[in-house]
Amino acid sequence: MSEASTFDVIIVGGGVAGLTAGLFAARHGRSTLIIVPFMVGGQLATIGAIEDFPGFPEGIAGYDLGPIVQEQAVAAGAQFKMVDATGLASIGTHWRVQSTEGAIDARAVIIASGSSARMLNVPGEERFTGQGISHCASCDGPLLKGKRIVIVGAGDSGLQEALTLTTWAQSIVILEQAPSPSAQASYLKRANENAKIRIHCELLVDAIQGGDAIEGVHARHRRTGAINRFDADAVFVYAGLAPNTRWLNGAVELDPRGYIVTDLQMHTRHAGLFAAGDVRADSASQAITAAGDGATAAMAAHRYLQTATPGEYSPP
Ligand SMILES: Cc1cc2nc3c(=O)[nH]c(=O)nc-3n(C[C@H](O)[C@H](O)[C@H](O)COP(=O)(O)OP(=O)(O)OC[C@H]3O[C@@H](n4cnc5c(N)ncnc54)[C@H](O)[C@@H]3O)c2cc1C
């Protein structure tokens, strides 16, 4: 694209927040473009079983849920473009999204670029990423029949993925730096009842070690300093998330942790600019809340487009 094309609403991100925003914006008659790098679904695309999304009492695979919402958004009229957003700027009454294939303009933009797994920043991590270190149990689990797995992080994601991995793994050790796991009671109960899973708390991973392949994980006890070594053939890291906001290059106000600040209507401090899902400050980081944010942001963007006279609108 050499000339910038113009939409009512551009949504950056094709996770459940972006797809739901696209569905609602298009259903309100807004010309809507969803920008997503290569594959829709975002984090959902990596999750085997989501048990707490309302409407699916038997649970649903995240990688099935994403395409269903995409289908709804397409049926409502949302368009998709498979590119990376690389920048954002206000140009008078519009916003300009820079992408890897040129500029695209809109009167309102919803940022739904989500979050990515936080790195441990320990020796061995870079070397073994994609070669034994993973963030997706349903993708890599089938390759790990009879293997010893270490999971870093005993939050919801860590335990949920551990339970998925029990299908294939010989043993699963979960290492948590806090004094106790933070996962939901239902996951914790099932993990404690599963003979393959052991949870160790107050351990900080120091290194992932091996030769041609991963052989083990070194972890230091937070209080005593004692070093523990756990044999491992693969390591799964669920040690928190980092917001995908670097592409904004300072164009939007962020909180000290790098998340986008919004009001309850998902409006940022910038007129016509909204944020939804895991990328925004105070998100509950759940699929259902991301979807709710997306719907709220799209409806707020629609109202903004109906009423805002450039120069008169004063965002919160
Ligand atoms: C292992 C795991 C298990 C989970 N289990 C559950 C569960 O059981 N129940 C539950 O409710 N939640 C669960 N979650 C959390 C849930 O998946 C997320 O809260 C939700 O998917 C966030 O959606 P999102 O759309 O805000 O962001 P994301 O899913 O992160 O999507 C962000 C999108 O933005 C795109 N993007 C990023 N940068 C750019 C850019 N520069 N340009 C264009 N596009 C960009 C990405 O490619 C992606 O499409 C789990 C998460 C993980 C990691």
Q: Is 210 found in the same domain as 75?
A: no
Q: What is the mean pLDDT of residues 219-228?
A: 96
Q: What is the mean pLDDT of residues 194-201?
A: 98
CATH code for the domain in which residue 286 is found: 3.50.50.60
Q: Which two tokens stand for residue 79?
A: 């368009």
Q: Does residue 314 form part of some domain?
A: no
Q: What is the pLDDT of residue 49?
A: 86
The boundaries of the domain holding residue 185 are: 119-237
Domain end among 237, 252, 274: 237
CA of 313 to the centre of ligand 1 (A): 31
Q: How many domains are contained in the chain? A: 2
Any atom of ligand 1 within 6 Å of the Cβ of 158: no
Q: Is 40 found in the same domain as 173?
A: no
Q: Does residue 56 form part of some domain?
A: yes
Q: Counting atoms of ligand 1 from 1, which one is nearest the CA of 279?
A: 26
Any atom of ligand 1 within 6 Å of the Cβ of 140: no
**Is residue 81 scored above 70 in pLDDT?**
yes
For the entire predicted model, the pTM comes to 0.91
Q: Is 108 found in the same domain as 17?
A: yes
Q: Is 144 found in the same domain as 232?
A: yes
Confidence bin at 313 (pLDDT 50/70/90):
very low
What value does the mean pLDDT of the chain take? Answer: 94
Confidence bin at 24 (pLDDT 50/70/90):
very high
Residue located nearest, by CA, to atom 33 of ligand 1: 13
Q: What is the pLDDT of residue 5?
A: 75
Distance CA 203, CA 152 (A): 10
> In 10 A of CB 107, how many CB atoms?
21
Residue located nearest, by CA, to atom 27 of ligand 1: 114
**Is residue 316 scored above 60 in pLDDT?**
no
Q: pLDDT by residue (tens digit) across 262-282? A: 999 999 999 999 999 999 999
Distance CA 11, CA 35 (A): 6
Q: Is 89 found in the same domain as 154?
A: no
Any atom of ligand 1 within 6 Å of the Cβ of 153: no
Q: What is the mean pLDDT of residues 16-43?
A: 96
Q: Is 255 found in the same domain as 202?
A: no
Q: What is the pLDDT of residue 40?
A: 92
Any atom of ligand 1 within 6 Å of the Cβ of 50: yes
Q: What is the pLDDT of residue 37?
A: 94
